[in-house]
Amino acid sequence: MLMTKQTVRDFFKQFPDDDTCLQHLFDVRYGDSHECKKCGTIGKFHRLKDHKAFSCQKCGDHIHPMAGTIYEGSTTPLQLWFYAMFLFTKSRNGVSGKELQRQLGVTYKTAWRMGHKIREHMARVDGDAPLGGSGKIVEVDETYIGGRKKGAYGGKGKAIVQGMLEHGGEIITHVTTDTKSKTLIKNITDHVKSGTEIHTDELPAYSRLSYSTEYTHKKVNHAGKQYVGPKGETTNSIEGFFMHLKRTIKGTHIWVSAKHLHSYTGEAEFIYNRRNEPHRILNDLLYGYPKG
């Protein structure tokens, strides 16, 4: 998977200091000319010296660009936040809290929180636009991640992740509570458009799809050592995504809790969905803020 080609020198040329980062944040969220919510004047806002805020040129009302973003309430320099996001775009296998601590010179607690917030930002920017549609194919599968309970068997004690991947398109994942038919199929109906051809393995929970009027259901018989069916049915792509996700967690993070697993799957989604346009990875993070 390609990463963005922007170098460290390029990054610091674009964002040499905190003031530049704050101005960028204001411009992205409020534009060059913004309507003041207090007096209704449309015009420029001026930076307040020694404050992370901008002031209306007529009434003096303040705008705080960091409010409503992952930076709100943080005392960490904004440039370090931007650089942390840059580091996420340079790694194939994610960035650990320890690596952020080393690179940014902050405490581990701060580094972990920054990484968690950036992953939340990735998930929000990525969104969950519906997959598939008429003539489209979506692979659906589930995997188990994490440690087992003592004395447990199979996947018991692990977190369950269900994935839906459109051929040539995007992926959506869900950390789910079980593999019951009601749970797994609801995720599909919530995120896959009617008319889609769905490929799954032989898990009984997906059997109901074969009687659906909304989807065409094709199965791969993994128990029979089948990986590509006679009509091209396969779950190889979604299984490949899960393999990379597990390598990332094991190799970079060692272990993640079920409570926070969704943020790591969200990061993997964000990167995967930009696999063919690596330049978008950093751009989407630095421009994907809520509009003011």
Q: Are residues 154 and 250 in the same domain?
A: yes
What is the tally of structural domains in the chain?
2
Cβ neighbours of residue 4 under 8 Å, at least 6 residues apart? 89, 90, 278, 279, 281, 282
Q: Are residues 111 and 149 in the same domain?
A: no
Residue 266 lies in a domain: no
Q: 70-89 b/e with 16+ CB inside 10 Å = b?
A: bbeebeeebbbbbbbbbbbb
Encoded amino acid at 32, one letter: D
CATH of the domain at 198: 3.30.420.10
Residue 272 lies in a domain: no
Looking up tokens 């902050």 gives 106
Distance CA 209, CA 212 (A): 5
Q: Are residues 119 and 165 in the same domain?
A: no
Q: Are residues 37 and 122 in the same domain?
A: yes
Q: Are residues 175 and 282 in the same domain?
A: no
Structure tokens belonging to residue 175: 């950390």
Specify the long-range contacts of residues 54-62, CB closer than 8 Å, at least 24 apart. 54/26, 54/30, 61/36, 61/37
Distance CA 39, CA 24 (A): 24
Range of the domain at 172: 137-258
Q: Spell out the per-residue pLDDT of the chain, length 292, in tens.
A: 445 578 899 999 999 999 999 999 999 999 888 888 889 888 889 899 889 999 998 898 899 999 999 999 999 999 999 999 999 988 878 899 999 999 999 999 999 999 999 999 999 999 999 999 999 999 999 999 976 555 445 566 789 999 999 999 999 999 998 999 999 999 999 999 999 999 999 999 999 998 999 999 999 887 666 667 667 788 999 999 999 999 999 989 888 888 999 999 999 999 999 999 988 999 999 999 998 8
Polymer length in residues for the chain: 292
Please report how many Cα atoms fall inside a 13 Å half-sphere around the Cα of residue 110, on the Cβ side: 16
Q: Are residues 120 and 17 in the same domain?
A: yes
- The β-bridge partners of 230 are none
Residue 159 lies in a domain: yes
Cβ neighbours of residue 194 under 8 Å, at least 6 residues apart? 133, 214, 215
What is the model's pLDDT at position 154?
A: 55
Q: Are residues 55 and 142 in the same domain?
A: no
Q: At what angle do helices 97-104 and 108-126 cross, to 10 degrees?
A: 110
Encoded amino acid at 194, one letter: S
pTM of the predicted structure, to 2 decimals: 0.88
Three-state DSSP state, 175: strand
The dihedral through the CA atoms of 271, 275, 276, 279 has a sign that is: positive
Going through the chain in order, the beta strands assigned E by DSSP cover 34-35, 42-43, 45-47, 54-56, 62-63, 137-145, 159-166, 171-176, 197-200, 216-219
Distance CA 54, CA 32 (A): 12
Three-state DSSP state, 144: strand
Q: Residues 135, 196: contact at Cβ < 8 Å?
A: no
